[in-house]
Structure 1
Amino acid sequence: MPDESEDHSDSVGGWAKKYYLTSRALIESTLRPYDIGRTQWYVLHQLVTYGPTLQRDLGQLLELERATLSGIVTALVRKGLVTQEADATDQRQRVLRITDAGRALWSELPDPIAISSSVAFGGADPADLAAARRVLQEATRRLNAHIAPPS
């Protein structure tokens, strides 16, 4: 049991949060000149890498609320980077596809995840990175199991 007087900002969780926030800031500053937000980049990445995707599935993949994703998709459609069409088999569902303009922009975009990882972890000992990954994976698994509704 952790000591209640412990400085939480210097805990593993505190540092994980600081890393996340700082990494997010670097990603956003990398994409800002292209007028693309971090989550918009993830949508484009999905569509370029895996092809047309149901909007519902994209929300689940990116762990986004429907309303949040709807706003992001609307912005990408308005910019002409993505199309949104009714699914051929279920007209209630929307399929997202990248446009030619979206592909052209994608070819210009730097990979903000690679940049962030390179800056943060370049030169780090692979064994240390593997240990950090294992610890955070297990912590995430335990938290998910703890909050999961009983079967």
Structure 2
Amino acid sequence: MLRPFDLGPTQWYILHQLIHHGPTAQRDLGQLLQVERSTLTVIVGALVRKGWVEQAVDAADQRRKLLRITPAGTELWAKLPDLSAIINDAAFTGIDQADMDAAVRVLRLATERLDAFIEKGHIA
């Protein structure tokens, strides 16, 4: 679905973040995506070269890089398929809402427990 636009799924998510949440620190995107800094640097570099994202030094913290969508990125976004809707439809159509709510509760609790486990240094 994204190939005709010369876009990968992680690139799509970065554009999604910038469109829906505005300028974002590159470091924060790494945490959201759970990807290594070097991997994110390559992905962001590709978006910058394509002219869809601009990278600037954060005025509040000169050590941080702030990412912004460009006008060309906004124009591209308007043409892209809505992956969120497509994925949600494929995964969840026909599933009872009570079952969905229970699954969300279980996954949220499991994620919180795993995050706490990692924070305690059990996983490097």
TM over 0.5: yes
Question: TM-score band (shorter)?
Answer: 0.7 to 0.9
Alpha-carbon shift at residue 79 of structure 1 (Å) = 0.7
Deviations 1:26-81 (Å, cap 9, x if unpaired)?
xxxx2222111111111101111111112122222322221111011100001110
Percent identical residues: 60
Aligned to 1:103: 74
- Separation in structure 1 between the aligned mates of residue 112 and residue 83 of structure 2, nearest angstrom: 26
Q: Which runs of 5+ in 1 are unaligned?
A: 1-29
* Greater C-alpha radius of gyration: 1
Deviations 1:89-127 (Å, cap 9, x if unpaired)?
333321111111100110011111210111111121111
| Alignment root-mean-square deviation, CA | 1.7
1:77 to 1:133, Cα distance in 2 relative to 1, 3 A: same
1:120 to 1:145, Cα distance in 2 relative to 1, 3 A: same
Aligned to 1:38: 9
Which has the larger share of strand?
A: 2
TM-score normalised by length of structure 1 = 0.72
TM-score normalised by length of structure 2 = 0.86
Aligned residues: 121
Q: Which runs of 5+ in 2 are unaligned?
A: none
Among 45, 52, 67, the residue aligned to 2:23: 52
Aligned to 1:118: 89
